[in-house]
Chains A and B, each alone.
Chain A
Amino acid sequence: MKFFTDREICYADILPPSEVRARIEVAVLNFLKILTCADPAISDLLLINRKSSNRRVSQGLLTDDDTWIFLSRSFCKRSLMRANAAKAFIRVWKVMEMCFKILLQEKRVTQRELFYKLLCVSPDCFSSQLQVNRTIQDVVSLLRCSRFSLGIMASSRGIVAGRLLVQEPDKEMVDCSECGSSGYAISGDLNLLDRLVMKTDARYIIIVEKHAIFQRLAEDRVFNHIPIILITARGYPDIATRFLLHRMSRTFPELPIMALVDWNPAGLAILCTFKFGSIGMGLEAYRYACNVKWLGLRGDDLQLIPEESFVSLKPRDLQIAKSLMSSETLQEKHREELALMVQSGKRAEIEALYFHGYDYLGKYIAKKIVQANYI
């Protein structure tokens, strides 16, 4: 149950290409009208503010589980008339132009490809991938449509393994438990992901932070001992992986989702991103939030880890911890864990568990699941 929050949400609509092109055309017409009217001006671009100050939380009334963040109606401006920020203004138009052309050609590109295209056409305007990514978010904020609607495909970094059968449209059924340690690659095409037919007999979904851990678990066929689906984004959660996870949670609502991350603030941050979304994803933040629980590594697992495996927290870790602490979405128990991390000044990786043998990890997971030891 949610009250009133719906009014505050700013949505990024998922639109067909023709709609997006129409919105861009409206933008051009408005620009020209303001440029050629009796009191001419160069219009500013009004974007939804992607700062933490504009971040709102939708809290489920009954349980903590249904919480997600979204952006509200606070705006920031990109203007040509501010000499120092004029380039950012130009970049928005350049990306809009590029996306417009891509949509006309009925193509899709990844953010990386877009970066190189922009570098060829307007080398003076773009200097880094990060800048391109931010500008894309600007366009999403301006046109209020999803990134995917703009013709930008998410790069496919995520993989799935375990007790899941997937079938792409007009293709053969794929058994994710037979894909070996490389797993089933998650496509960047959200349309495709949306049309996947999925079947499972698993009882749990486990998000794994790191590729190496995923590979170990897949190779050891852990899912033959415990009925699980393994999924990883190989680091920071990308849209496609989150999309698929979200679909899975909707398709198989009875399957609890758990995360296996390193014991450090960054690991918790990744869990939180799957759980709540992130304002870096701008208007699409809210869409793919899932109820994710923290399986490990946690404070009570530390006794399993040898002293030598602990490393000091770095300044960056502390920064992330601070940012997480200040977020009102962080659950009490997670908060306690985070406080423990900061207090001890130490961090540890999942690999530390290999001290007990390479097959220990599977046993560790099984034991925790059976004991329902997740928060």
Chain B
Amino acid sequence: MPSISTTLPDLCRSQITISFHSSNFHVAIKIFNAVSDTGIGSCLEEFQDLNCSSIIAAEFWDGILSVKTTAICDDEIYHYHLNLRKNISSSRTLTRLPSNPKNGLKFSGTEVYLSISESIDVLVSAINHFFQKIMILNIPNIAIELVTEREDIPGSRCENVFLANKSNPGPLSTSNVECLKSGLEDYVLRHGNSLTQKCNTCFATSERLKVGSGIACSTENHKSSGLMMEVVVIISELESKCPCFRECSSKTEVLYFKDFTPCSISHSTLNVLSTIDWQSYGLTLENVVDQGVCVLEWGDSPSHSQIDMVLHCYHKQYPMHKTQPEQHLIKKAVTAALNNLKETHPGILRSAHALKICSHAPDLARSIAGLILSSNDPDFQGECFSLLGLESREIGANAVEDCIQEKIVSVIEMNDRKPRQRNVVAPSLFEDDCDQDSSYQDKEYEEGEDEFIYLD
């Protein structure tokens, strides 16, 4: 991918053409990148740094890239051959080939050509899959076009355009994390980007998606550029009658991007994920599975709820220097995203403790409401209603009870959002001067401690 500058959102256009030659059973891939028609060409260093063995295995590709590039100010189109088969960049050979003149025309762009002996269907499927993932990043200033054709079959040209968030394009100045949010939303709405539009069975109303995001960044120093870690978590409710209903609502595939490229999660990152205090969000992490894709397996999750998560770690500046370990940022960013979800959507991700307490809220509210409503003292009732913010004409037993319950639940949730270590000390019902003298024992009255069974 061309470099993405976070300060100047140049428009980029990328056209990938895959053509299959039946004569030599090779698939030619031509990738054309233009950075806003009036822009720069490619920097050859980018190619030098490619780790080609992780891209395509040796049996399918000879490692040769043919690169043609020109900047707007250049008079000619430069042509190179790059042999990436050699693993050490210094020994990678760069062969310069004769340039083509531009004859006074003003344009820029880079074209990369490679030839692979792989089935075109496998390749197209892999590339599609890649771009489905890239769409999550939802980078607004890139337009990607995928063209496939079979040279021996006329009219077989097929075009597929991947545009970031074509249904709801944001302004170009949108931050990366906002793009990531809407990208993951689209991904979830289209069931993993397997549909072309949002699934109407599950998501007739957009309220079914609850989105939270979190950011953590490391500081810059002269040795390395700062790292950004962005996390988006989405909780969605699925309809069981949808054909795409995956019975894996108890699983979350963690999507991971590093410097705008989808990649697999390192072992140390997986370890960090398992150290997060999921319990305080009412989640039980049973297992972390790493088989190419990272999957978090949950116990006890509500059957129609699905959790989707994406992590994106990138360097704030290009060129990137030596990669810093990002583990310390992961926990911070994931926790921030979960907290963000909790704050913006009251009632979800309640810890087990809070859930247990909340189950008593209706009983307590009913009791207090019962006390207020059965009183024969109008002043007392009036004061209660005014404390609750109720108008006297609203008074029905249900209104009072609901109001009290709502307040109780909000206190419980507010306490649930506070860090575990801080003990919430609630004031007591009657504060009187007895307390000053007392040796305050914060113990429960243990059942069965009576001297005798008191049976009156």
Among A23-31, A59-67, A332-340, A352-360, the stretch that binds chain B is: A23-31
Answer yes or no: A116 CB below 8 A from chain B CBs.
Answer: no
8 Å CB contact of B427 from A28, A34, A82, A88: A34
Among A31, A32, A104, A281, max chain B CB count under 10 A is at: A32
Given contacts A93-B364, A273-B452, contact A44 B427 (CB under 8 A): yes
- Smallest distance from the beta carbon of B363 to chain A beta carbons, Å? 5
Expressed in whole angstroms, the minimum distance between the Cβ of B282 and any Cβ of chain A is: 13
B353 touches A28 (CB 8 A): no
Chain B 420-456, CB within 8 Å of chain A: the 1/0 string? 0000101111100011011111111111011111111
Binds B, one of A69-77, A191-199, A249-257: A69-77
B367 in contact with A44 (CB, 8 Å): no
Q: How many residues of B contact A (CB 8 A)?
A: 56
Question: Chain A's interface: helix, strand, loop or mixed, by majority?
Answer: helix
Complex: how many Å from CA A29 to CA B441?
26
Q: Are A90 and B411 in contact (CB under 8 A)?
A: no
User: Does residue B129 face the partner (Cβ distance < 8 Å to A)?
Assistant: no
Task: Report whether B360 and A86 are in contact in the complex, using a CB–CB cutoff of 8 Å.
Answer: yes
Which residues 265-280 in A have Cβ within 8 Å of B in the complex? 269, 273, 278-280
Instruction: List, in ascending order, chain A residues with CB within 8 A of B380's CB.
Output: 25, 28-29
Measured between beta carbons, the chain B residues less than 8 angstroms from A130 are 453-455
- B 352-390 contacts with A by CB, 8 A: 353, 356-357, 360, 363-364, 367-368, 370-372, 374-377, 380, 383-384, 387-389
A234 shortest CB reach to chain B, Å: 11
Task: Point out the residue from A25, A27, A53 that lies within 8 Å of B429, measured CB to CB.
Answer: A27
B429 near A75: Cβ-Cβ < 8 Å: no
**Residues of A contacting B449 with CB < 8 Å?**
50-52
Please give the distance in Å from B121's CB to the nearest CB on chain A: 56
Given A77-B428, A124-B363, A278-B454 in contact, is the A36-B370 Cβ separation under 8 Å? no
The answer to whether B244 has its CB under 8 Å from any CB of chain A is no
* Of the residues A26, A78, A86, A90, contact of B356 by C-beta under 8 Å: A86
Task: Give Cα distance in the complex from A238 to B380, angstroms.
Answer: 36
Contact with A along B270-305 (1 / 0, CB 8 A): 000000000000000000000000000000000000
Tell me the residues in window 116-133 of chain A with beta carbons closer than 8 Å to chain B beta carbons. 122, 124-125, 129-130, 133
Q: Would you call B441 and A75 a contact (CB within 8 A)?
A: yes
20 of the cross-chain contacts (CB-CB < 8 Å) are: A10-B434, A21-B375, A26-B430, A27-B430, A29-B387, A31-B429, A32-B384, A34-B427, A50-B449, A50-B450, A51-B445, A52-B449, A73-B437, A74-B440, A78-B444, A86-B360, A89-B360, A97-B374, A137-B454, A273-B452
Instruction: Give A residues with C-beta under 8 Å from B.
Output: 10, 21, 24-36, 40-47, 49-53, 73-83, 85-90, 93-94, 96-97, 100-101, 104, 111, 122, 124-125, 129-130, 133-134, 137-138, 142, 154-155, 157, 235-236, 238-239, 269, 273, 278-281, 320, 323
